[in-house]
Structure 1
Amino acid sequence: MQFNDLQRQYTTYQTEIDEAIQHVLRSSNYINGEQVDLLEQELAAYVGVEHAIGCASGTDALLLALMALDLQPGEEVICPAFSFIASASQIRMLSATPVFVDVSAVDFNIDIEQIEAKISSRTKAIIAVSLFGQCADFNPIKELAEKYGLWTIEDGAQSFGASYLKQKSCSMTDLATTSFFPSKPLGCYGDGGAVFTNNPDLALKIKALRQHGQTERYHHNLLGLNSRLDTIQAAILRVKLRHLDREIAARQEAASHYKAFLPEGIFIPEIADGRESVWAQFTIGLGDRDQAQAYLKTKGIPTSIHYPIPLPHQKLFADLVDPGETFAVSSLLAETVLSLPMHAFLTEEEIQYIAQSLTEFLAHEG
């Protein structure tokens, strides 16, 4: 059993993927090839925005978004305390300050009720991470941003294809980013990412920033990066994008099976009304998490812990956090969450086996 069975996925689409790769090889156009332009058009259409700009990774997408906003040293960006490190680390990369907000115990996304208290005269933007495949609650976030004159960014690395009140992830904020890391709902065969926006000026700026700040060949008006999405990865993503909605439906069906088969005593994050998750991870909460992980390993069931250390407790950010601030929900999740196998090709029988193994573990522990 695989945590995310990319081999099953490749076998299913092998003919299409192989032909897409061969097409690029025959063209010998590996950088900024036609497939990149076509993918960007298709991504923008899928999400429902004017501009999608491919880049080298989801982390670079965040950095490019912050650079496009001209984030300055000493300015602050609000972000969740429980997430992958990329959103906060890229703020620090620009010598700005991530300001952490605890997350909701219901959906594990940033706690809307705690954001306003963290806004200061130095705040420039709010980054909301759409965690584990479910969008954050963007309407109140945007209301706060409008009230205080802030930019909004969605980190949609885990939520591409999800929806919030019939709006697609990556369509609701000033800038949005996603990752095409292989395990993501839409993943390539290496690193890749994209930035989304309806703002034409920001789009032009990001297109320059991803190519050393180049506005035309050898004309550099900005300090930028070398962060392009390569043509082979774009060709692979175009194939997978055609199958994405079917895969999302399969992930949602797998999640329904998990909910039906898992024993009592296991916490599952709630999918809020008006939202559809793509279930990038199926993450549960239970008290004896580490013991459960070890037991499942003996049964041949791979698991992962997302994330064992809340961001404010990382050494990288030790100088930014008041020692008396607890981030209670983030700390609890770090000690209790466990991600189970999840992908579009997971069978009902495999889910039953996982659920039965957890039932046996809980019975033994009880």
Structure 2
Amino acid sequence: MKMIAVFAWLVLGVLPAQAGYAQAPVAVASKVHYELIGRYDTARLDTILSSELAAFMASSTTPRAFVGKFARAKYGVRLYRVTYASVVPELGNRPTVASGLVAVPETGSHGRQTLPVVSYQHGTVFDKAWVPSQPENSAETRIMIAAFAAQGYVVIGADYFGRGVSDLPDSYLVKASTQQATTDMLFAARDVLGALDVTPGKLFVSGWSQGGWATMVFLQKLEQLGIKVTAAAAASAPVDLYLMTNRWMNNPQPIDPVYLPGCTALQLFAQQYYLQAPGLAASAIRPELLAWAAGLYDGSVTWEAFAAATPSKLGAFIRPEFAASGLTGQTPYWRVLQDSQGYRWKSVTRLRTYYGGRDEVTPEYIGKLPVATQALVGGAAAQAIDAGADADHRGVFVFGVLDQKLWFDALLD
């Protein structure tokens, strides 16, 4: 069990939680509250991008590729947990409460200041506490804080419905709920920043893995609302869930990661709940594994226990007849996945996507789809950037963070 726990730490980027400091929540708008949960000084921020980054990359194909690549921290950063009211579109706009993070650099400025904002959408997690609003449990969030907030950007991040303080089941890869959670988090963050004497400057959006897809569907929603985004970036983004899931189920590869059964369990149960499709998970998952999958989804089974009790190959986890149904895509589940794409519209926002030659989750073809689509329909400038022939899933993320920092900086003037 200890070896499994260590493996999960390396794969998922989890670091042990530490207690923040308590502060009574402050109300800043109708049903928006924030509380100071901690502070990273410059020494800690430099540690995040040195020894903690090394731990995050230890299981990667390129464990030392980014040693010494990040700038030293300019500012300390204050960390705020935000709770805000939202609604669940798939459930008739049922009211709910969600949470997220606002990380504000301590620039030393007196009075109101204007700072650029990066909204970061996090990747797949198997525990509701491994989220931005609990940054000690989220290595990817800490990396974004150290790379951007320590250099003068505000960093915000939604936990998504079913994660953080939410009492809902996980909304994993559920499109409208993801758009709602991220959009309402942006509005809530603006209220919080106003109370902290910060005027939001240019807006950037970024995400990795699940968060790369979330970034793209969030961007689509922002453009529909007429909210200007200066630039968008998506690393290892499974923007076409129908193609991606089909590849996983019907064309397995030696490179496939051991956590695909866990990802698939979350997705199936999330679609079952939010789209009110009873029996979906049972129709897809082999019966002897269904209870383990349900437990992972509802949080009663840890990732470590699930991984120890279930196959590491998706083909041994999913019913073969269910996988075969994806080849034609005519059942309700597969049609929902087709409708959940995050790239098939004409965008007005400049975009960079990132892919790698050894990415075990998102193939190069999927990573390039948004760029090819924008070229086809005459959308905004878009560029697909190769993180390298040896870059795996984590390597693509860190490569993207470094590139985005330089790119976003160049767009501030």
Q: TM-score range by the shorter chain?
A: under 0.3
TM-score by length of structure 1 reads 0.25
Compare relative contact order (CA 8 Å, sep 6+) and give the higher one, 1 or 2: 1
TM-score by length of structure 2 reads 0.23
